[in-house]
Structure 1
């Protein structure tokens, strides 16, 4: 493991721009549509394609203090709950929305230095928010989950403190906006963009279209 996350990838956007065998996926940990769409990575891999998971804040306006939210009611929330059940996912709506900057920065750090376990780390942070109702806006929460997976919390804390992770998020969001991404989740493949929670059938058509 490198002692400096910056040394791992000199060009931070090197693997953002898509190639024919790569799907670029932008996500946010506080986005319920992203949570219920986690298995799309496996659908991509099953077709022999690579996928790059990149950060995009769904609500960059949320401060580090977070915001409290009330009960989720209405057709949209019932749809999300049905999608979670269909995917075999527990969904406990959190009582507050945190800033996702720390969690997304940590995820991008993990992707760069330990790509083999970065998706497991992502799953743990999704679970922390949508199942365990832990505060993923709290750096201590993120460092604890990192340590449980064998990631070095001291190196992660250093990257969070020195601005590396914040810069990577800005670069990822800039790339997303250049490609017309308006929200999460979003997938880019062969110049085509698919956004929002889509059925598996729609996702298959997206991957298979010429």
Structure 2
């Protein structure tokens, strides 16, 4: 397993930044802003999945109250990044959404940025159940994904194995949570300040 294994088909050989995320993670939702900063600094950022709550049942669970300093911090960071944030009432199981997104990133990379943003927005802005196949397919179709090809792919073991491979690479680099970025040999875990990302420069 190598970083090159995660580049989309036909991509040039580069030294990308790997970014691990989960759609249920509010720090990852705001982390879209940090990845945008790296992109503006000249980096290629590959966003790859790391399921952080695979134990959530398929029907999801009640989220409970969102109060305290951590939630105030996230509200402020989302506002600074220009990202609306409305806490959803339920937490979904995101394995399906992550599997679909990773297949799209690998096989239809042109549609991935839109789908990636759409699924985050579906959860953190509109409160949609992104654990539901119909919801994920709706956003995939809106993002320009070939739905018949996706449907066939989801019946095969490869997409799920790709998510497992991404999780294995995170473990290899000592990354246990999201969001996380691997910039060269430097692993960054958690939602670090914007100023720290603005200090990076690509070679």
* 14, 19, 44: which one aligns with 2:4: 14
Cα distance in 1 between the residues matched to 2:176 and 2:133: 27
Which residue pairs with 1:32 in the alignment?
A: 26
Residues 40-189 of structure 1 aligned to structure 2 (within 5 Å): 40-189=34-183
Aligned residues, how many?
198
Cα distance in 2 between the residues matched to 1:46 and 1:20: 16
Taking a change above 3 Å as real, the CA distance of residues 99 and 12 of structure 1, as seen in their structure-2 partners, is: farther
Could you list the per-position Cα deviations for residues 124-166 of structure 1 after superposition, in whole angstroms to 9, with x for gaps in the alignment?
A: 0000000111100001101011111221222222222323221
Contact 1:103 1:142 (C-alpha < 8 Å) held by counterparts: yes
Taking a change above 3 Å as real, the CA distance of residues 12 and 141 of structure 1, as seen in their structure-2 partners, is: farther
Could you list the per-position Cα deviations for residues 58-89 of structure 1 after superposition, in whole angstroms to 9, with x for gaps in the alignment?
A: 11221212111212011001110111111111
Question: Matched residue of 2:23: which SS?
Answer: coil
Cα distance in 2 between the residues matched to 1:201 and 1:120: 26
Tell me how far 1:39 sits from its aligned partner.
Answer: 2.0
TM-score of the superposed pair, with normalisation by structure 1: 0.87
Which residue pairs with 2:10 in the alignment?
A: none
Taking a change above 3 Å as real, the CA distance of residues 162 and 21 of structure 1, as seen in their structure-2 partners, is: closer
Tell me how far 1:12 sits from its aligned partner.
Answer: 8.8
Contact 2:38 2:197 (C-alpha < 8 Å) held by counterparts: no
Cα distance in 2 between the residues matched to 1:43 and 1:158: 36
Segments of 5+ residues of structure 1 without an aligned counterpart are: 1-10
CA RMSD of aligned residues (A): 2.1
